[in-house]
């Protein structure tokens, strides 16, 4: 099992791969809502953020992105599905991440992922606050367990073990998908164009997986 970290444009990576090269693409592209201009729950008592905000979420991926994504991958899981209805076909299966948010928070109660799977919709229910194993290093960071749940549901859909299969993440962000992929015996190419996210994500991956690498 191996994770290949790419600092650069995911379009260059995808164009270099043949059709159907990846067994799965699990992606969380920019939603085009300028999330980095929002306070994201920060208050006057919040600790200073250790990560860069940037302007990466000002625009959604262009049509060419979707064309390449569907060309190089056999199956797909796309988080933020509600922002990409014009780019995605109808589907039998969406994943719903129920974050079990306390009442009164401005955050969404759940997030939606589009999938290419032909199976009933599935719910992943677990509070973000129950897992503090991953430090915040990206504005829209998703937890490791969410990606592990995605891989388990993918295995359920295929009806077999996915160990050793090739996975693509085009927008690495926190790189928690890479940690989950490594723990589940997957080969992954993970791309991130922002150098600070790339470095912090790679460092977090090394720290989270160093013990497992000894065996």
**pLDDT tens for residues 49-83?**
666 777 777 889 999 999 999 999 999 999 999 99
Whole-angstrom distance, CA of residue 65 vs CA of residue 67: 5
Q: What is the DSSP letter of 200?
A: H
Confidence of residue 215 (pLDDT cuts 50, 70, 90): very low
Least confident of 56-60, 104-108, 168-172, 181-185: 104-108
Whole-angstrom distance, CA of residue 121 vs CA of residue 47: 38
User: What is the per-residue DSSP string for 65-126?
Assistant: HHHHHHHHBSSEEEE-GGG-TTTS---S-EEEEE--PPTT-SS-SEEEEEE---S--EEEE-
Q: What was the pLDDT predicted at 211? A: 65
Nearest residue to 140 via CA among 14, 25, 52 = 52
What does pTM read for this prediction?
Answer: 0.89
Whole-angstrom distance, CA of residue 85 vs CA of residue 90: 9
Domains and CATH numbers, the chain: 3-33+51-214 (3.40.50.150)
pLDDT digits (tens, 9 = 90+) for 90-116: 999 999 999 886 665 556 788 999 999
């Amino acid at each position: 099992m191996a994770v290949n970290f790419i600092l650069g444009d995911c379009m260059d990576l995808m164009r270099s791969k043949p059709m159907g090269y990846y067994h799965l693409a699990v992606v969380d592209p920019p939603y085009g809502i300028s999330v980095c201009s929002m306070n994201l729950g920060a208050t006057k008592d919040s600790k200073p953020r250790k990560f860069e905000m940037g302007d990466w979420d000002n625009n959604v991926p262009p049509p060419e992105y979707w064309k390449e994504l569907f060309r190089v991958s056999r199956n797909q899981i796309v988080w933020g599905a509600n922002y990409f209805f014009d780019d995605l076909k109808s589907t039998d299966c969406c994943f719903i991440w129920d974050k079990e948010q306390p009442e009164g928070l401005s955050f969404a109660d759940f997030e939606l992922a589009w999938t290419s799977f032909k199976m009933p919709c599935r719910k992943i229910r677990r509070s973000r606050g129950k897992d503090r194993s991953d430090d915040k290093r990206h504005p829209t960071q998703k937890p490791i367990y969410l990606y592990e749940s995605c891989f388990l549901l993918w295995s359920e859909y295929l009806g077999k073990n996915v160990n050793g299969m090739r996975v693509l993440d085009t927008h690495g962000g926190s790189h928690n998908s890479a940690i989950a992929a490594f723990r589940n015996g997957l080969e992954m190419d993970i791309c991130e164009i922002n150098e600070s996210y790339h470095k912090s994500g790679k460092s977090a991956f090394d720290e989270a997986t160093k013990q497992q690498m000894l065996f």
